[in-house]
Amino acid sequence: MGKIKRKIIGIRKLINYWNYLYYVKNKPIVSDYEYDQAIKELILLENLRPDLITSESPTQKINVNIKNFHNSIHHISPMLSFNSIYNYSDLINFDNKIRNIFKINRVVYCCEPKIDGVAVSILYKNGKLKYAVTRGNGYIGENITNNIVTISSIPLSIKNNITKIPSLLEIRGEVFLIRNNKSNLLNERNNVAGALRKSNLDISGKKLLGFYCYSANILSKELFFDYHYNLLQHLKLYNIPINKYISCFTDTKDIIKYYNNMYKKKSLLNFNTDGIVVKINSFAMQKKLGVTNKVHKWAVAYKFPSHEKITTIKDVIYQVGRTGVITPVAKLDMINIAGANITSTSLHNFNEIKKLNIMINDTVIVSRIGDVIPKIIKVLLYKRNSNAIRIKIPSKCPVCSSATKYSFGKTKLICTGKLNCSAQFIELVKHFVSKDAVNIPGLGNKLISKLVSNNIISNLIDIFYLQEIDLIKINGINHKLAKKIIYEIKQSKKNINLPNFIYSLGINGVGIVTSILLSKFYKNINSLAVSDIKTLTQIKGIGLKIAKNIYDFFQDKNNLMIVKTLTSKDVGLKII
């Protein structure tokens, strides 16, 4: 079998399985993004082998088995989907295509938020809610009437004095989880579907669910509408919930404005939305365009930029921190998520690598939500091949070759080299000169690395013996700059508050807040240095672990010598 054919068969199997989990079990295991990418890949492969395209391919039809439904109902007309677009030029192409088909200059589009939830169809007979059914495989869905009737915004009967009630009305829409300000559930569909399939929704469950109707069919034909927008407005008279952000436009530029505006508003809305839906407003035109086995041709989903991207791990490097913790960092093929170029991401620790089952050369999904640091959320195992390389847990520090060991309750690997490890020492110097510590802004990260690697600084005391002549040896430092740095170092010695000095020592777990607590209790550095663990733990806010770290720090002769020398006449740090 050819390589392409094998790939096509593999991806179809996978997508069919995902479809089954999504449409039948209501338990998706992949994000929309991962699903869309797989469909895109399958389309590309099928374009290479058009002879293999059959009507059964998931690019043509959603093939799912509905045997699992407790109680199934046939849809009056199939519940189909629509294609997705991702950028302005896709939108222009869609508009051009429609205008060419109809040979007209402008088309009225109805734009709506694409609501992220579960599609349902609800039938009203003589104004009474008769049944509600999920989409299922598009042709047959599951009867969920018992749960739908508990959603307070869905009317059980539609009454109206002004206008006629159709004797048979089908409405379709999305059930969603009502969001409060904080919760932003990652897999909305999972939660909604879970709630809908429960045999009995409790009150807390009911309060969580909302519904917006996005289409309707007056099967009994007492009323007739030419336009989608007008039909939706009419349904409001029956108290059927219609989303308030629905507007019509003819110009694609205005659609973009609407799209950008909805994207900006997204986090403030009480429903989750992953894009907008652009629908042709005229029912006559919709009908002419028609459907495929899978989609309506008269609408597209214009998706918001995803906070997920697929990339590959080129390599894994190890960073050694101030406290010796070795952090594995993945080097990635560059991706751009929401404007940020991403080339690497922390893998946190070796347990995380194990948990996610990550190997070098793997294809992975990286997620970055808002300004949060990007994170690998998943390995696409089905893409793993023979070039995958296991990530080794280093037995030696990659910087100083000292032995490594597990620490911090076996969660973290550390280098045992302490300050003999140049990486740990460089990080300590960075910490020591930082703003909340001794505050020497001229000593930047790059300069510190060079001073350490050229053996100009090998302990904290050396900083205060630096001379202009040492600094100008370093590339990029001229006389003027060297003078400025030496001046800053001198200034830094003048008045250092005790909490800042305690903090500057870089004792494990002792941040600025703990340093303030310690300085209030001990008043000077010498009494802190001779304190025992018991006394330390008597301070409110200091636990046994930190007390032990402090005690151990001052038991170390070298540390004690450094502290004594820094505050001695020779160096002259003035602690106040």
Query: What are the residues binding ligand IVH (CB under 6 A)?
Result: 81-82, 112, 114-115, 119, 172, 174, 214-215, 277, 296, 299
- Residue 307, judged by CB atoms within 10 A of its CB (0-12, 13-18, 19+), counts as middle
**Closest chain position to ligand IVH (CB):** 119
Q: For helices 32-48 and 3-19, give the axis angle rounded to 10 degrees.
A: 150
* Cα–Cα distance, 43 to 23 (Å, whole number): 21
Residue 244 in tokens: 């308030």
Nearest distance, CB of residue 301 and ligand IVH, angstroms: 6
Sequence-distant contacts of 425-431: CB under 8 A, at least 24 apart = 425/452, 425/458, 426/452, 427/320, 427/321, 427/322, 428/322, 428/460, 428/506, 429/457, 429/460, 429/463, 430/322, 431/322, 431/504, 431/506
* Cα–Cα distance, 434 to 165 (Å, whole number): 72
Strand ranges for 416-534 from DSSP E: none
Give 9's contacts (C-beta < 8 A, 6+ positions apart).
none
* Cα–Cα distance, 211 to 235 (Å, whole number): 14
For residue 309, the SS3 value is strand
Nearest distance, CB of residue 227 and ligand IVH, angstroms: 15
Query: How many other CB atoms are found less than 10 A from the CB of residue 403?
Result: 12
Nearest distance, CB of residue 344 and ligand IVH, angstroms: 35
User: What is the phi/psi pair of residue 569, to 5°?
Assistant: -60, -40
| DSSP result, 332-377 | EEEEEETTEEEEEEE--SHHHHHHHT--BT-EEEEE--TTSPPEEE
> To 10 degrees, the CA torsion angle through 343, 344, 345, 348?
180
Nearest distance, CB of residue 228 and ligand IVH, angstroms: 9
For ligand IVH, which is the closer residue by CB, 134 or 404? Answer: 134
Nearest distance, CB of residue 390 and ligand IVH, angstroms: 40
Nearest distance, CB of residue 337 and ligand IVH, angstroms: 23
Active site residues: 114
CA–CA distance from 201 to each of 184, 209, 288 (Å)? 21, 10, 42
Nearest distance, CB of residue 306 and ligand IVH, angstroms: 15
Nearest distance, CB of residue 193 and ligand IVH, angstroms: 12
- One-letter-per-residue 3-state SS of 230-260: HHHHHHHCCCCCCCCCCEEECCHHHHHHHHH
For ligand IVH, which is the closer residue by CB, 215 or 519? Answer: 215
Could you say which DSSP state residue 392 is in? P
